[in-house]
Amino acid sequence: MTAPRAAIRPLPEHLVNQIAAGEVVERPASVVKELVENSLDAGARRIDVELVDGGIERIVVSDDGSGIAAAELGAAFSRHWTSKLHDARELEALVSLGFRGEALASIAAVADVAVVTRTADDTHAWQVAAAAGAALPPPRPARGNRGCRIEASALFARIPARRRFLKQARTEFLHVLRLMRHFAFARPEVAFSLSQAGARGLRVRPATYGVDAPRWRAVFGAAFCQEAQVLDFMLDGIAVAGWVGGAALAGNHNDLQFIVLNGRIIRDRNLHHAVRAAYGESVPAGSYPAYALALSVAPDSVDVNVHPGKLEVRFADLRAVHDVLHTAVRRALPEAGGRAGGVAAPAALGEAPARTYVATAPAATTRPAALAEATWPGRPLGLVGRRYLVDEQAGVVRVFDLVEAWRAVLTVRLAEPSVARPLLLPVRLAPGQLAALAARPGLAARGFEFDDLGPAGGVLRAVPTILPALDWMAFVAALVDAGEAAPADIAKAAACCLALEPPPPASRRALDELARAAGAAGVALDTFARTLDAAALARLFDRG
């Protein structure tokens, strides 16, 4: 028996808001994250968070930022209203933490909300208060300092199905505490405090003089501050700064694994994979290394508009970020086979200058600026036969042999010491392939790493950083057939297996990579180009 057909009808507005809120507000820590990010975007230099019952009963976030004008309070509670985004083009290079215009609207759909705010132009504060899902009344005059004080009470009280999924008050408090430690790491210039029922859980002052061991002890703990190594690294426009703890600091939990991107708290398993792989076997399986890392990339090279809670991001070139992060951490860990990175000697956390921490102020690049910033000089027009690039520069059309160009570049570069980078997806090796490659010690010396899985064969886990994107399965087969491990043999196998991207603009990054590699190797790319003048073009197209 079929069920009767239900009529299609619109959802009630309050139900729409509650469903939308579920994408943003999962627990008290979600509320705190949205409100603190709004405070930071408002230029706050002090942010205080107070909780009752872990935030389940009440959350209060106070700041000294720019505040909200009384005439705009209604708009601030409306979905998809924001002061931080006005044009679709701004989505390509977002720098504000909040931009969706959903924070207050989502919170007000699932909690009772009260706001007291005052701008620099106001002679007094203004306040509004409304029950969850109810209409917002007109603002009323109130007492209050410049900034904003937002109180969210009775979270999910009117949505029992959501409230029952909340944990005990202590567990919810610990989630908020970890979040606030992340904020304290991401924004060292801001003072933060967290308290529950009058008991202080965290209080840190701004790190204004570079050396601020009390702040970092409060954020990371004394053991990490004493043992962690400074990391300050930059390559190809990607900066990594912060601290990494050695194997002795590894623990049973991942609560001391901080990664921020351009001052934004993110979670990305690929980035954590890059860091974990850098430790190699120095940290046993089941243990979690400790680190606090701030990445800085060009805003237009990352899309932060892919997750309602703004926790996940999408990189234009994930492989490049992954490799730079892995290389930076590996060099900072002597026990992982690297060296101290970015500093003359290992230094304790309390001795670290603030500039090595703030992602927006990275240290000098590790290679000459001319090479780090080298780009492809021409305008790529297309790719022929997955080998030949048709390119135009100053009105001249040329055809480049990319395979031969990479072969020449890699022959030079592979003769130099190389750092290994892990593959995002390890390549499975048949038993015969593993035996053939493992018998060539020159491969390990150049950055190749293999794991023996017994009768099943093995996997290729890491390759030299200088190798471009390849068809790794085909590369392994070509490397086995090469029979040797000399730079020229590896270069030939790699050049024949280039994972060349489609025509522009997707191919532009790969061409820039070739330009930088050629510059570092001292290889003239013009050697691999054939100019198509008017006569050649006429012959090519039979136009006599």
pLDDT in tens, 421-478: 777 667 888 888 888 888 887 888 888 888 887 787 888 888 888 888 888 888 989 9
pLDDT score for 210: 45
Per-residue confidence band for 340, with pLDDT thresholds at 50, 70 and 90: very low
Q: Nearest Cα to 490, choosing from 502, 475, 501?
A: 475
Q: Tell me the mean pLDDT in the region 266-271.
A: 86
Specify the higher pLDDT residue, 310 or 138.
Answer: 138
Mean pLDDT (the chain) is: 79
DSSP at 456:
G
User: Do 226 and 348 form a contact (C-beta atoms < 8 A)?
Assistant: yes
Nearest CA to 234 out of 372, 60, 417 is that of: 372
DSSP 279: H
Q: What is the pLDDT of residue 464?
A: 87
Confidence of residue 532 (pLDDT cuts 50, 70, 90): confident
Range with lowest mean pLDDT among 324-328, 359-363, 421-425: 359-363
Compute the distance between CA of residue 222 and CA of residue 212 in angstroms, rounded to an integer. Answer: 13
**Which tops the pLDDT comparison, 389 or 161?**
389
Task: List pLDDT tens digits, range 211-257.
Answer: 467 888 899 998 898 888 888 888 777 888 889 998 889 988 888 99
pLDDT at 58 over 80: yes
- The greatest distance separating any two alpha carbons of the chain, rounded to the nearest whole angstrom, comes to 89
- Please name the residues in contact with 506: beta carbons below 8 A apart, sequence gap of 6 or more: none
At 163 the pLDDT is 82
- Using CA atoms, how far residue 489 sits from 143, 438, 439, in Å, is 76, 16, 15
349: pLDDT strictly greater than 60: no
pLDDT of residue 95: 45
The pLDDT tens digits of the residues spanning 170-198 come to 999 999 999 999 999 998 889 999 999 88
- Contact at 8 Å (CB) between 73 and 136? yes
pLDDT, position 22:
46
**488 vs 513: which has the higher pLDDT:** 488
* Residues facing residue 383 across a β-bridge: 389
Asked if residue 312 has pLDDT above 50, the reply is yes
